[in-house]
Structures are given as structure tokens and as C-alpha cells.
Amino acid sequence: MLQIPLIVVGVFLIALLVNAIKILKEYERGVIFTLGRFTGIKGPGLIIVIPVIQQMSRVDLRTIVLDVPKQDVISRDNVSVKVNAVVYFRIVDPAKAIIQVANPFEATSQLAQTTLRSVLGQHELDEMLSQREKLNADVQKILDDSTDIWGIKVSHVEIKHVDLDESMIRAMAQQAEAERSRRAKVIHADGEKQAAAALVQAARELGADPRAIQLRYLQTLTGLSTQGTTTIVFPLPMDLISPLLKASTGGSDTSR
């Protein structure tokens, strides 16, 4: 008759021992509460938790990838866009993550959503599209500072998509086309300006010596002579024939 109680006690003790033994992986920690009070952090490896008297909460220390759902954001220039992001964070203080906040993952997700809307709402649309790295750093810093009391470290934030409606996409395409047209006109005007300056400089150099003008004139005639049998009427400048006239006049005076 005594064997049955002994067997029951033995089974009970074995069950308590099995329940008391906990194995924590390398990336896990156990937050221990003794009679409801925090008494320490254990792990990794084999630990003993006294049944009934002690309770343990497991905490994963690995980096968590949190996908922030699309948020409706109104930019500073009153443009409505949808923005989503991804947040990388991990628990660095298991005690704070268990004691200070009920659900650290949900709390971080909600905080990331509100912070994303708040930060992006302070910038114009062009800044959202062109200064992505700066906005990522701003959101990451605010999140990291806010979650520090929860024992959470936000290591990186990445804005993935900034979605615009069709009307805004068409307006931006028209703006880009107008900007390209403006640049083309500016480049063309700069080219005309440089060409005019080069022509003025060439005219000055040619005007410095009349013989240069005559050589240029003869070179032009040579070029025209190779263009087939087309008859070309070319004016003869007085500067070219004035030396001949002077020579002719001087010769007639000498003969008299």
C-alpha cells in the first residue's frame, strides 16, 4: 500500500524537476521573476527555474525585421502620398523589454508608423524622393531614442516605396519635360554666345592685317570653285582691288 504513494511522489518530483529545467539557446535570455519580483536574467544554456515560486519569460535577442504598412502622408507642399518602410531592431535589455512594455514588437510597430508620418509630413515631395537617406536617418534616430526605455535598439530604417497617384505622376512628367526643354534652350543660348564671341575674336584678328582678309577671301573662292558648274556671282571687295588701283594710278602718273 505504501508503494502507491511513493510512486506518486516520485512521479511528482520528476515532473517538478523536468519543469524546472530550462534550456535557452545562444540568442535567448530568460527574465526571472521570483514571487512576482524581478530577480535577474539567465542564459544561455541550461538553467533551473523553481516551479511555482519562479517564472521565466523568454526573450529573443536576434534582429527583428519589421515591415511598416503603407501610411497616408501629406507632405509640406500638400501632396498626398502612400509610404511604407522596413525597420530593423533588436532587444538589448531583456529586463526592460519585459517590464517596461507589454508587447515590445507591437509597440515598436505602432511607434514606427506614427514617426514615419510625422517626419515625412515635415518635408516636401521633392525631398522625399531625392533625400531618402537623410529621411531614413531622421526616422531611425527618433525611433531609437523613443524605444531606448524599452530596451530596444533600432539599428536601421529603410523607406521602401513612395507611391503617387496618376495625376501627380503626370504632373511630375510634365514638369520634368519642361525642365529638360529649359536646359536645352539654355545650352543652345550658351553655344550661340560662345560662337559669337569666337567670331568677334576672329574678326579682330583678321582685321589686324589686310592681307589676312585677302587670303581668307581667296580661300573662300577656292572652296566655291569645287562645287560643280554652278555660276556664282561673288562681290569683289574694294579692299582687295585697291592696291591694284593704286598701282595702276601710280603707273599712269609715271608715264606722264
Give the percent of the chain with pLDDT over 70.
75
Cβ neighbours, 10 Å, residue 127: 16
pLDDT tens digits, 35-92: 999 999 998 999 999 988 999 999 999 999 999 999 998 888 888 889 999 999 999 9
DSSP string, 20-72: HEEEE-TTEEEEEEETTEEEEEE-SEEEE--TTTEEEEEEE-SPEEEEEEEEE
Q: Can you tell me the distance from the alpha carbon of 86 to that of 137, in angstroms, rounded to the nearest whole number?
A: 13
Last residue of a domain, one of 59, 78, 94: 59
Name the more confident of 199 and 146: 146
- The chain-wide mean pLDDT, for the chain, equals 83
Q: Tell me: the pLDDT tens digits for 85-143?
A: 999 999 999 999 999 999 999 999 999 999 999 999 999 888 888 899 999 999 999 99
Alpha-carbon distance values, 35 to 49, 56, 90, 94 (Å):
12, 11, 28, 19
| DSSP code for 159 | E
Given a contact cutoff of 8 angstroms between Cβ atoms, the answer to whether 158 and 86 are in contact is yes
pLDDT of residue 255: 44
Same domain, 131 and 207: no
Range of the domain at 216: 180-221
Question: Is 240 within the bounds of a domain?
Answer: no
Q: Are residues 69 and 37 in the same domain?
A: no
Cβ atoms of 139 and 157 within 8 Å: the answer is yes
Cα–Cα distance for residue pair 165/146, rounded to 1 Å: 33
Q: Are residues 70 and 49 in the same domain?
A: no
Q: What is the pTM of this model?
A: 0.65
Number of domains in the chain: 3
pLDDT recorded at residue 116: 93
Is residue 156, in this structure, part of any structural domain at all? yes
C-alpha cell at 38: 524581478
